[in-house]
Structure 1
Amino acid sequence: MRPAALRAEGWGWQHAGRREWAVRGLDLRIEPGERILLLGPSGAGKSTLLKAFAGVLGDDEGDGAGRLLVDDQDAGAARGRVGLVLQAPDANIVLERVGDDVAFGCENLGVPATEIPGRVARATAAVGLLVPQDRSTAALSGGQQQRLAVAGVLAMGAGAVLLDEPTANLDPRGVPEVRDAVLAATAGATLVVVEHRVDVWRDHVDRIVVLEPGGGVLAQGPPDRVLREQGSALAAAGVWIPGFVPRAARSPRPGGAPLLAAEALAVGRDGAAVARGIDATARAGGALAVLGPNGVGKSTFALTAAGLLPRVAGRLEALPALADGLRADPIRWRSRELLPRIGCVFQQPEHQFVAPTVRQELAVGPRALRLGEQAVSDRTTEMLETLRLGALADANPFTLSGGEQRRLSVATALATAPKVLVVDEPTFGQDALTWAGLVDLFGRLLDEASSVLAVTHDERFADALGADRLVLA
């Protein structure tokens, strides 16, 4: 493997339909074999820069300026030299079986067929993806999909490996496991990692580079020096800096009346259970954090609790304070009945977007409830302000950064004022300021006697909400 050099010369990118530039006037040189931690607040253009270096930003997606070079040639002409793991795990998947998907990049690079099985086996073992190679990629959890994506890039042996939030969907045990696998498998290659949590990578990179929203480089240098000299300013801008902990907005308090109860519940798909024996209650004014390793059925439980998947066995009951005259089983409710009772935020936010602009997306739920146009407008404006999305009101949801998409997906669920909010990894990809804002927002929901059921690996988030714990294993 020959390490690749990466260079930006006055580079910028403006997404189609957007007034503001995601990145502008960026000058940056990454030497062959250098390891970089790329930081910045949500929306600073980190993911955009990685996609551009990998040559996957299309001309119809926006307008560019300046030059991006890989080994002194245009980045778009050097795709075989760069491997990219996208922020959304399922966006990396192209084939139906695990082994085939990991092999896909190798095959496109013309790796001899006799070498590919060994590469696939080593890569999947390195990242801890311990499933049969004929396992359906659609059956993987979000965390397993993330391991799959990293394995595919590692198997390629690219000269530069670009990773966008590679550990964000992993359980705490899996974070150092995958990080160490990446470091071992990319020894000698150029490595650029986007990760909000600095402490995971700070001791394993040569340099930190911080991007300024809509601009170029805000700060760069050896990790210890940047954190020592710029730590306070970076924390104030929303970068997760060790030792700077956002203030939690809510003190723990007990929940009130039960709204949704599970007893001996088994959840799964197509009648096959992935988790059994679940006993849990969501209460008015209370939060429930659903924890556990990747692949144990947390997201499946969340979708079942939200009335979107039928239970396999056991009991899931909406209590009178939630059902309000409807049948007790949420799966039997119509969508208009579900909206003001249970809201749901999917693990992959882009899976729930249906409108061409952020403002129109926020209006979908209120309009489905047949609210008047003034009420729809008021609710939409409130959500834009609350989730700091006002500047993006006319943007296409699919052009937003991962963190911005997550904020939008939460806002769309809140727009119908549900009594129970089911959220899957709500703090994934969020900078520290947005994290604190989400804690404050969910805290206000709890104060208003709503309930929050959150699938999360973020123990700090669960602590901040004073949440009860449900641990699946």
Structure 2
Amino acid sequence: MPPAAPAGVRARGWGWRHAGRKAFAVSGLDLDIAPGERVLLLGASGAGKSTLLHALAGVLGAAEEGEEHGELTVDGVPAPSARGRAGLVLQDPESQIAMARVGDEVAFGCENLAVPRDEIWPRVHRALADVGLDLPLDRPTAALSGGQKQRLALAGILAMEPGLVLLDEPTANLDPEGVEEVREAVQRSLDRTGATLVVVEHRVSVWSGLVDRVVVLGAGGGLLADGPPERVLADAGVRRRLAAAGVWVPGWHPLTGEEPAKPLRPANGGGELHGGSLLRAEGLAVGRSPKLPPVVGGIDLALREGHATSVTGPNGAGKSTLALTLAGLLPAVGGRLTALPPLALGASSSPHRWRSSELVSRIGTVFQEPEHQFLTPRVLDELEFGPRRVAKLSEKDVRRIVDGLLERLRLERLAGANPFTLSGGEKRRLSVATMLATSPRILVLDEPTFGQDALTWAELVRLLADLLAQGTALLAVTHDEDFTTALSDTVYRVDGGRAARVEAAA
């Protein structure tokens, strides 16, 4: 069965407004993408990049879920009528995994496209090898890490060999080696099939060598830039406009412009008034269940006031499991995890034994998947939820905290929106804000900069630097080297079942 012919895309005055939102996510879009073109789609967080990809895949929803203007076609027919021509990897890959086992998940799309049976499993094996996912076909998908699920979702799309490949932040949760593997996998697939590509990624340098065109959505509608990467990214005026719009322009750092990046963390770990230990791990072993072998052991570390620690390592090594254990959300499966008196304040020395009311002002956790911590139908309610459960906070205090976070993290216009309708970057900022709202002594963050444009990345990093200066302890699971350089004074690498301190950040 030969690969599907490459698809063409056409938009004329196209726009979409999500139900319940005043502003259009995308508006006034005029765009033509020729069959076989490879396009990098850029724009500020919330500019509508994910909305456009969903529309091209025909999965935006029925008329009651939003309002559409203009025309958007794939191969000359309305995008919803061309379902099956496009394969979409969502920004949150977990939301598109449907099957219980790895092999069945990769085969699922092929089966729905009626690919001959004797061709499906060779495609499955090739796609898994292409994305560097060396796992048994019967491995449970629920047991995979976030990064592994991202690769699995991509493998499922590549196995389908669609005419239009749509990728929404496909490398955001991957380790550096995984980024290279995924980009090369996409290139091999495109070279073999000739498919059209539209990829959304904030980090331009990851894809600039593979694509032949860069398209930048304007936050207020229309296009900010459109052309070959070498022309769009080389023009000084265009570079400044893109940087001002939040695009990660190669050679331009959001904190320093064209100057080399420098640490933003406070000197001496928050000053002379801070630095005491709050949480200590000694020979700690962590796992998802005490009944199973630990995934990481022999962990010795301390989280101190005004100090930031980064946890790095390959996908699936156990970084998130370690973070959840330090946050008191999973029990230790070996060794000791001790909350010291300045953190425990009379409660148990074991964070896992704390009630939610005790945990909320001591340790705040930002999950890898933002949706896992949303509890209410409005952004405003989500931010108020934690502070209203902290004793001795007046209504005036709650309003001051919430209004300040809405402004600082650029969420004011979304205060009345449903958290689940936000863009990926907006969801991440909201998930961070909900934890900041209760002023915890320790903040544990799992991939905190995922999906952020350069402007919101810089604002988030500055906010965390302020928290360090005030004495908050930070622990971040991250593949973001810029984040580590800016904030972390200690780095641990998790790999091969161990966690070792590898260096002090430069």
- Aligned partner of 1:401 in structure 2 is 423
Aligned counterpart, 1:235: 243
Q: What SS does the aligned partner of 2:176 have?
A: coil
Structure 2 residue aligned with 1:190? 196
Cα distance, 1:252 vs. partner?
4.8
* 2:449 paired residue among 427, 438, 441: 427
For the residue of structure 1 that corresponds to 2:121, the secondary structure is helix
* Matches for 1:32-181 after TM superposition, within 5 Å: 32-59=35-62, 60-181=64-185
Match of 2:231 in 1: 225
C-alpha deviation, 1:126, in angstroms = 0.5
Give how far 1:254 is off: 3.5
2:289 aligns with 270
Normalised by the length of structure 1, the TM-score is: 0.98
Q: Is the 8 A contact 2:36 2:197 kept in 1?
A: yes
> By how many angstroms is 1:374 displaced?
2.4
Q: Do 1:11 and 1:66's aligned partners in 2 also have CA atoms closer than 8 Å?
A: yes
- Counterpart CA distance in 2 for 1:213 and 1:245 is 20
* 1:109-142 deviations in Å (ceiling 9; x for gaps): 1111111111111100110011111111111011
Which of 440, 448, 451 aligns to 2:462? It is 440
Give 1:253's match in structure 2, choosing from 268, 275, 280.
268
Q: In the alignment, what sits opposite 1:342?
A: 363
Aligned counterparts of 2:363 and 2:65: Cα–Cα separation in 1: 35
- Aligned-partner Cα distance in 2 for 1:110–1:226: 41
* Amino acid in the other structure paired with 1:445: L
Higher alpha-carbon deviation: 242-251 or 351-360:
242-251
Q: Alpha-carbon deviations, 1:183-211, whole Å to 9, x = none? A: 11122000110000001111111100000
Alignment equivalent of 2:216, drawn from 175, 186, 210: 210
Once residues 274 and 389 of structure 1 are traced to their aligned partners in structure 2, the CA distance between those partners, rounded to angstroms, is 37
Q: Distance in 1 between matches of 2:173 and 2:6?
A: 28
Match of 1:368 in 2: 389
Give the structure 2 partner of residue 357 of structure 1: 378
CA shift, 1:274, in A, is 1.1
Identity of aligned residues (%): 63
Map of 1:14 onto structure 2: 17
Q: Which one of 275, 287, 312 corresponds to residue 333 of structure 2?
A: 312
Letter in 2 for 1:264: G
Superimposed CA distance per residue, residues 428-451 of structure 1 (whole angstroms, 9 cap, x where no aligned partner)? 111111111111000010000010
Match of 1:31 in 2: 34
Can you list the C-alpha shifts for 1:410-468, whole angstroms capped at 9, x where unaligned?
Answer: 00000000000000000111111111111100001000001010000011101101431
Superposed CA deviations along residues 259-304 of structure 1, whole A, max 9, x for unmatched, are 1111111111122211111111110000010110100000011111
Contact persistence 2:296–2:318 (CA under 8 A): yes
> 1:274 and 1:34 mapped to 2: Cα distance?
43
User: Helix, strand or coil for the counterpart of 2:254?
Assistant: coil
1:138-195 deviations in whole A, cap 9, x for unaligned? Answer: 1101110100010000000100000000001000111111100011112200011000
1:375 deviates by: 2.1
Is the 2:269–2:468 Cα contact (8 Å) retained in structure 1? no
Task: Give the partner amino acid of 1:266.
Answer: A
Aligned letter for 1:39?
A: L
Q: Could you tell me how far 1:380 is from its partner in structure 2?
A: 1.2
Gaps of 5+ in 2: 256-262, 496-506
Identify which of 431, 436, 445 aligns with 1:414. Answer: 436
Query: Is the 8 Å Cα contact of residues 266 and 468 (structure 2) preserved in structure 1?
Result: no
- Give the secondary-structure state (helix, strand or coil) at the position aligned to 2:461: helix
Partner in structure 1 of residue 260 of structure 2: none
Q: Distance in 1 between matches of 2:362 and 2:230?
A: 49
Secondary structure, aligned partner of 1:449: coil
User: How far is 1:378 from its partner?
Assistant: 1.9
Unaligned 5+ segments in structure 1 are none
